[in-house]
Amino acid sequence: VVKEGSPKEKKIKQKRKLLEELGETWLPYLTPKDAEFHQHSFLWKTKYSKLLLKKADNIPKELHHVVQEAFVTLQKHDCFFQDLVRIKGKDFFTPVSRILIGNPGYTYKYLNTRLFTVPWPMDDFEIKYCHPELFTACKALIKLNDYLNIEAVQALQEQNLFETKETDDTAVTDREQDFAFIKGKGSLLEDQSTLHTPRNSCTSLKYRTSYNLTLLNYMDPLQMPYLKQEPYFGMGNMAVSWHHDENLVERSTVAVYNYSCEVGSASDKVNEQDMEGRDPADWHVGLKVAWDIKTPGLAIPLHPGDCYFMLDDLNMTHQHCVLAGLQPRFSSTHRVAECSTGTLEYIFGQCEVALQNLQADSDSAALSLKSLEVQVVKEVEGIHNEVEFEWLRQFWFQGKRYMKCTGWWSEPMAKLEEFWKKMEFMVSI
């Protein structure tokens, strides 16, 4: 049941209105091979400025090697799983298989599913992996994470140089950088919002680019019995539908490393000169202004080793999708997850608050509650339910599968279960 006036109801109405206005026609979209793509300088500067593409040739070869080896290693050890998620009240398995890797004790929640990190190597944490190859793979991914962090900070600093205080999108001059990403360089296109972001301090930039986890994805489209068709532009098969990435620090940058495996013959490739729209043999990232039927969308091809960045508020103002090609594809999507209620440190702190209301008799050691005030009891019950439904059930249902990578979560989850048993007793009283 969708509550009236809720964000979910608003989203449903927006989608319905968009489809009604669209009717039987497709909205226009552009790809780099379109002649119009090179003519819409003002469009890019006003609508898609915060998309940055870094071509594989401009990324260190040694980094490509270790990261791509990490993908293959994780797949070899069966570390990728389809997630069971809830959409519009129904449960679905995702077509894309995933694994979450990141800071020890962190979790990430999307579509009502909480994922638990396979921890990457960090100082002050003793992490034992089930195989030395898994240690090497996780080490490669934190190396990629550090690299993307540096690149994101630099991109935001360059963006701030182009912004002026209290101005809008009116007077924009052409720069040599406009379509550099077609030529293999990074492209930073001007501000797409009418409200310019104020210059950011180094602290703020670091906060919005300090990636604390990465969600790795894998899909072989030829093994999928069905892929949903893109509904607005006619872009073809989608691996991931239009969406905003959720549960992220506000205005934080998302960085994505792409690796589509080179399999099949050259005959699989479609002659781009003989077709309209995107080449269905290649993977693309699609981008559009959220709930806008006037601005053309984008379909940007992704080649092995390419990276793209969604800078600043792009993830909030725009929606993106992933358009399937013919090859199997890995990606590593680095995020600044909003983890104020999603870490072990947080949930253990909640348990301590609840257990403060539990006392033992000095003579008989019998347990009792210090207070029976309604507010105190409700707080304990709320924490009890949070531990059970947001952590224990989610972990034993989905998180436990990652135990084949490392047993790191075993001890803290056993401790959390002991806390839950005490709170279960408190609630029963």
Find which of 14-28, 80-94, 197-211 is predicted with most confidence, using mean pLDDT.
80-94
Q: Are strands 297-302 and 283-289 parallel, antiparallel or unpaired?
A: antiparallel
Whether 315 and 248 have beta carbons less than 8 Å apart is answered as yes
How far is Cα 333 from Cα 213, in angstroms, rounded to an integer?
8
Centre a 10 Å sphere on the Cβ of residue 361 and count the other Cβ atoms it contains: 9
Mean pLDDT of 155-183: 56
Q: What domains sit in the chain, N to C, each tagged with a CATH number?
A: 7-153+203-262+275-335 (2.60.120.590), 344-428 (1.20.58.1470)
Whether 341 and 304 have beta carbons less than 8 Å apart is answered as no
**If pLDDT is split at 50, 70 and 90, which confidence band does 163 have?**
low
**If pLDDT is split at 50, 70 and 90, which confidence band does 187 have?**
very low
Whether 308 and 256 have beta carbons less than 8 Å apart is answered as yes
Query: Residue 106 — left, alpha, or beta (φ > 0 → left; ψ -120 to 50 → alpha)?
Result: beta
424 vs 276, higher pLDDT: 424
How far is Cα 212 from Cα 334, in angstroms, rounded to an integer?
8
180: pLDDT strictly greater than 50: no
pLDDT digits (tens, 9 = 90+) for 326-335: 999 999 999 9
Query: Which pLDDT value is given to residue 17?
Result: 73
Query: Which pLDDT value is given to residue 173?
Result: 44
How far is Cα 121 from Cα 138, in angstroms, rounded to an integer?
7
The model's pTM: 0.85
112: pLDDT strictly greater than 90: no
Q: What percent of the chain has pLDDT over 70?
A: 81
Q: Which of 108-112, 201-205, 298-302 has the lowest mean pLDDT?
A: 201-205
Query: Which pLDDT value is given to residue 364?
Result: 78
- Report residue 233 as tokens: 């532009």
**If pLDDT is split at 50, 70 and 90, which confidence band does 223 have?**
very high
Mean pLDDT of 369-377: 93
99: pLDDT strictly greater than 50: yes
- Report residue 318 as tokens: 């725009």
pLDDT digits (tens, 9 = 90+) for 392-429: 999 998 877 878 899 999 999 999 999 999 999 999 98
- Report residue 371 as tokens: 């207070």
Whether 258 and 240 have beta carbons less than 8 Å apart is answered as no
Whether 51 and 286 have beta carbons less than 8 Å apart is answered as no
How far is Cα 43 from Cα 289, in angstroms, rounded to an integer?
12
341: pLDDT strictly greater than 60: yes
Residue of 288, 285, 290, 277 lying closest to 323 (CA atoms)? 285
How far is Cα 244 from Cα 247, in angstroms, rounded to an integer?
10
What residue has token string 């983890």? Answer: 339
Query: Which pLDDT value is given to residue 35?
Result: 58
